[in-house]
Structure 1
Amino acid sequence: MGVQAYKQVNLETSVNQASPHQLIVLLFEGALNAIRLAELYIEKGNIAGKGQAISKAINIIDNGLKSSLDLEQGGEIAENLDQLYQYISQQLLLANLHNDKDKLQVCFNLLDNIAQAWREIA
């Protein structure tokens, strides 16, 4: 329990001290970690854990990454990211329904490419 409490405090400190750019990086990391966790749960046959991990990834994408887009000022880039995030969320739902590790890997790769580009902006 002590380790979990430390992780929570450490995460809260990271979030409180993060710039808007760093917050987006943290969202990407959270989604990517959740997808990796879902893959592990599929391998171990933990269906409930897989579902929770995929739900977490979708939540981060839809309520974090997608909602942070400025579709009015962001132009074509924001629209393309919005569509890509929608596609990734749909693929994650399908991966959840079919225990499809290949779909999870595609989603991971797509998100990781965007995350790497975002990290390089800094």
Structure 2
Amino acid sequence: MYHNTKDYSDHYQASDLAVQVASANPHQLVLMLFDGLLDELERTKSHIVARRFEHKAASVNKCIDILNALTSALDFDKGGDVAANLSRLYDYCVYRLYHSSHALSVEQVDEVTLILRQLQQGWQQMGLPHD
């Protein structure tokens, strides 16, 4: 069934992720999206540095897909200005990623990473118990 241990490992990781997603609440799902997005941004940078242009394009597209998923998960009725501001930040990140892809700019990817790490920290803080 599996030709090598990497195939088995990939299958195990995919099924483990499926279990995590199935049992996650919406807050946990957002944090999982941020984790995946930040990992993919690191891959994007490595592809730019190594001049692996096809891989870079695929990584940028994955990042944009995740940002679009985060945007589509926003509840503008309940979230009001916070949801609108998050949407604008996600749109800005998409714009910067498109630009970084064309300019081959690791610095612009770093800018997006910084913004998203700060947002991720905010989401993590929301999940902590309050005294």
Provide the rounded CA distance (Å) in 1 between the counterparts of 2:64 and 2:95. 9
Provide the rounded CA distance (Å) in 2 between the counterparts of 1:73 and 1:116. 21
Unaligned runs of 5+ in 2: 1-6
Matched, 1:52 2:61: no
Deviation by residue 1:69-96 (Cα, 9 ceiling, x = unmatched): 1112211111110111100001000011
* Equivalent position SS for 1:73: helix
Aligned-residue identity in percent: 27
Provide the rounded CA distance (Å) in 1 between the counterparts of 2:77 and 2:28. 22
CA deviation after TM superposition for structure 1 residue 16, in Å: 0.7
Provide the rounded CA distance (Å) in 1 between the counterparts of 2:11 and 2:27. 26
Unaligned runs of 5+ in 1: none
What is aligned with 1:115? 120
Deviation by residue 1:45-90 (Cα, 9 ceiling, x = unmatched): 111111111100000001x110011112211111110111100001
The CA RMSD over aligned residues, in Å, is 0.7
What is aligned with 1:35? 41
* Equivalent position SS for 1:49: helix
CA deviation after TM superposition for structure 1 residue 106, in Å: 0.3
**TM-score, normalised relative to structure 2:** 0.90
* Structure 1 residue runs of 4 or more that deviate by more than 2 Å after TM superposition: none
Aligned residue pairs total 121
Provide the rounded CA distance (Å) in 1 between the counterparts of 2:70 and 2:102. 23
